[in-house]
Amino acid sequence: MGLFAWAGKKKPFFMLFIALMILVGRPENTATGQTLTITVGAYENYPLICTCEEEIRGIYADILNYVAEEEDWEIIWEKDTWNNNLEKLENEEIDIMPAIAFSSERELLYYFNNETVHGNYGKIFQQVDSSFESFVDLEGKTIAVLVNDIFYEGEYGIKHLLEQFEVEATYLEVNAYSEVLEAIESEEADAGVINRLFTDKIREYKVKESPLIFSPIELRFAFPKGVAQNSLLID
């Protein structure tokens, strides 16, 4: 079963989103009707976007592949880290960044589509022998975080949240959520921040979930500022 089918069974609003895309119809691809080549950032964020059996898969990949078939697009996947692909988006080196949290701060850097594909929030994981019950328990701890993650440095991310609680912590920046879990398992970090959708992967690591959750957000597609074809892609 593909992740598209999985999402349809598990997430009814996901299928409603696809149905609405079909009903809205499609704009003209280009003035000449030729195939449009689109470069899309790909990174490891299961089950939203990921490399599975050497193919780019996930909920957002399934959506884009469907749209590409309907609109006569050719997708070129740019496989890189989350942070590198964000820089490429800002520098207009890629056309679309999937599974990115919408925020007022990011809206200054990128364009976003109007429909929220999925909701998400941040979760704290810890070493198996730890028992963090509140955010103040993180005082003096080392927390593994994804570079440029909204759950790290966003307006309601862990860094700002702990500052409000006057809790001092050290942040270990890594390039993937899997590295967050690895840092906890190896005891390089006392705790770590991942998004709630990535928790399907936790059984692969010796870590423990804490009751600490925070920062609900909307996940969309992002596009570089000032690119003429954005209106076509966003529609």
- Please check whether residues 80 and 153 belong to one and the same domain: no
Q: Are 66 and 137 found together in one domain?
A: no
Q: Summarize the confidence of residues 215-219 as an average pLDDT.
A: 96
Shared domain check, 213 and 197 = yes
Task: Examine the domain organization and report whether 109 and 174 are in the same domain.
Answer: no
88 lies in the same domain as 153:
no
The pLDDT, as a whole number, for residue 27 is 43
pTM, 2 dp:
0.78
Q: Which of 22-31, 52-61, 96-105 has the lowest mean pLDDT?
A: 22-31
Among 130, 133, 93, 125, which Cα is nearest to 227's? 93
Written as six digits, the tokens of 174 are 């890594």
CATH number of 201's domain = 3.40.190.10
Which pLDDT band holds residue 5 (cuts at 50, 70, 90)? very low
Instruction: Kindly tell me if the per-residue pLDDT of 201 is higher than 90.
Output: no
Residues 65 and 33 in one domain: yes
Considering the domain architecture, whether residues 104 and 129 belong to the same structural domain is answered as no
pLDDT for residue 19 = 45
Confidence of residue 26 (pLDDT cuts 50, 70, 90): very low
For the cut 80, the answer to whether the pLDDT of residue 13 exceeds it is: no
The 10s digit of each residue's pLDDT in 138-186 is 999 999 999 999 999 999 999 999 999 999 999 999 999 999 999 999 9
Q: Do 180 and 110 share a domain, yes or no?
A: no
**Domain co-membership, 108 together with 126:** no
Judge whether residue 127 has pLDDT over 80. Answer: yes
pLDDT reported for residue 29: 53
Q: Which two tokens stand for residue 6?
A: 């999985």
Number of independent structural domains in the chain: 2
Q: Measured between alpha carbons, how far apart are the two ends of the chain, in Å? A: 29
Mean predicted lDDT score pLDDT of the chain: 88
Residue-wise pLDDT tens digits, 54-88? 899 999 999 999 999 999 999 999 999 999 999 99
Domain residue limits at 54: 3-118+219-234
Same domain, 72 and 154: no
Confidence of residue 33 (pLDDT cuts 50, 70, 90): low
**What does the alpha-carbon distance between residue 86 and residue 65 come to, in Å, rounded to a whole number?**
21
- The dihedral through the CA atoms of 9, 13, 18, 22 has a sign that is positive
Q: Looking at the structure, do residues 138 and 190 belong to the same domain, yes or no?
A: yes
Q: Please report the pLDDT score of residue 20 as a whole number.
A: 45
Q: In this structure, are 110 and 140 located in the same domain?
A: no
